[in-house]
Structure 1
Amino acid sequence: SSRAEFDLPEYSVRRRYQDFDWLRNKLEESQPTHLIPPLPEKFVVKGVVDRFSEEFVETRRKALDKFLKRITDHPVLSFNEHFNVFLTAKDLNAYKKQGITLLTRVGESVKHVTSGYKLRSRPLEFAAIGEYLDTFALKLGTIDRIAQRIIKEEIEYLVELREYGPVYSTWSALEGELAEPLEGVSACIGNCSTALEELTDDMTEDFLPVLREYILYADSMKSVLKKRDQVQAEYEAKLEAVALRKEDRPKVPTDVEKCQDRMECFNADLKADMERWQNNKRQDFRQLLMGMADKNIQYYEKCLMAWESIIPLLQEKQENKWQVH
Structure 2
Amino acid sequence: LGSLRISPWMVPASWSSLLNRLQLDDDIDGETRDLFVTVDDPKKHGCTMETYITYRITTKSTRAKFDLPEYSVRGRYQDFDWLRSKLEESQPTHPIPPLPDKFVVKGVVDRFSEEFVETRRKALDKFLKRITDHPVLSFNEHFNVFLTSKDLNAYKKQGIVLLTRVGQSVKHVTGGYKLRSRPLEFAAIGEYLDTFRIIKEEIESLVDVLEGELAEPLEGVSVCIGNCSTALEELTDDMTEDFLPVLREYILYSDSMKSVLKKRDQVQAEYEAKLEAVALRKEDRPKMPADVEKCQDRMECFNADLKADMERWQSNKRQDFRQLLIGVADKNIQYYEKCLMAWESIIPLLQEKPEAK
TM-score for the superposition, normalised by structure 1: 0.71
Q: Are the equivalent residues in 2 in contact too, given 1:40–1:63 (CA < 8 A)?
A: yes
How much does 1:101 deviate? Answer: 2.8
Q: What's 2:85 paired with?
A: 25
1:198 to 226, 234, 237: 234
How much does 1:183 deviate? Answer: 20
1:199-249 CA distance string (max 9 Å, x none): 676445433321110111111111111100000000000111111111222
Mark the CA change 1:249 to 1:14 in structure 2 (over 3 Å): closer, same or farther. same
Larger Rg: 1
Whole-Å separation in 2 of the counterparts to 1:50 and 1:130: 37
Q: What's 2:297 paired with?
A: 261
Structure 2 unaligned segments of length 5 or more: list them: 1-60
Mark the CA change 1:120 to 1:179 in structure 2 (over 3 Å): closer, same or farther. closer
Percentage of identical aligned residues: 93
Whole-Å separation in 2 of the counterparts to 1:249 and 1:176: 70
Greater Cα offset, 293-302 or 117-126 = 293-302
Is residue 135 of structure 1 aligned with residue 195 of structure 2?
A: yes
Is residue 270 of structure 1 aligned with residue 318 of structure 2?
A: no
Q: Are the equivalent residues in 1 in contact too, given 2:86–2:142 (CA < 8 A)?
A: yes
Mark the CA change 1:174 to 1:99 in structure 2 (over 3 Å): closer, same or farther. closer
Other structure's SS at 1:4 match: coil
Other structure's SS at 2:167 match: helix
Please state which structure has a larger fraction of its residues in strand.
2
Q: Are the equivalent residues in 2 in contact too, given 1:151–1:200 (CA < 8 A)?
A: no
Q: Are the equivalent residues in 2 in contact too, given 1:44–1:50 (CA < 8 A)?
A: no
Other structure's SS at 1:12 match: strand
Q: Are the equivalent residues in 2 in contact too, given 1:27–1:80 (CA < 8 A)?
A: yes
Greater Cα offset, 276-285 or 70-79 = 276-285
Mark the CA change 1:175 to 1:302 in structure 2 (over 3 Å): closer, same or farther. closer
How much does 1:53 deviate? Answer: 2.7
How much does 1:193 deviate? Answer: 11
How much does 1:104 deviate? Answer: 5.9
How much does 1:67 deviate? Answer: 0.8
Whole-Å separation in 2 of the counterparts to 1:134 and 1:174: 25
Whole-Å separation in 2 of the counterparts to 1:111 and 1:230: 7
Mark the CA change 1:248 to 1:65 in structure 2 (over 3 Å): closer, same or farther. same
Q: Are the equivalent residues in 2 in contact too, given 1:37–1:70 (CA < 8 A)?
A: yes
How much does 1:156 deviate? Answer: 16
Mark the CA change 1:72 to 1:45 in structure 2 (over 3 Å): closer, same or farther. closer
RMSD: 7.4
Q: Are the equivalent residues in 1 in contact too, given 2:200–2:244 (CA < 8 A)?
A: no
Other structure's SS at 2:165 match: helix
Structure number with greater CO (CA < 8 Å, separation at least 6) is: 1
Mark the CA change 1:46 to 1:133 in structure 2 (over 3 Å): closer, same or farther. closer
Whole-Å separation in 2 of the counterparts to 1:173 and 1:133: 26
Whole-Å separation in 1 of the counterparts to 2:260 and 2:325: 28
How much does 1:320 deviate? Answer: 24
Mark the CA change 1:114 to 1:65 in structure 2 (over 3 Å): closer, same or farther. farther
Structure 1 unaligned segments of length 5 or more: list them: 137-148, 160-171
Whole-Å separation in 1 of the counterparts to 2:190 and 2:300: 18
Q: Are the equivalent residues in 2 in contact too, given 1:30–1:105 (CA < 8 A)?
A: no
Whole-Å separation in 2 of the counterparts to 1:215 and 1:18: 21
How much does 1:58 deviate? Answer: 1.0
Mark the CA change 1:310 to 1:42 in structure 2 (over 3 Å): closer, same or farther. farther
How much does 1:44 deviate? Answer: 2.9
1:98 to 145, 150, 158: 158
How much does 1:316 deviate? Answer: 15
Q: What's 1:156 paired with?
A: 204
| Count of residue pairs brought into register by the alignment | 297
Whole-Å separation in 1 of the counterparts to 2:166 and 2:140: 13
Greater Cα offset, 251-260 or 285-294 = 285-294
How much does 1:95 deviate? Answer: 1.3
Mark the CA change 1:313 to 1:231 in structure 2 (over 3 Å): closer, same or farther. same
Mark the CA change 1:245 to 1:264 in structure 2 (over 3 Å): closer, same or farther. same
1:109-145 CA distance string (max 9 Å, x none): 7777775543111111111111222233xxxxxxxxx
Other structure's SS at 2:166 match: helix
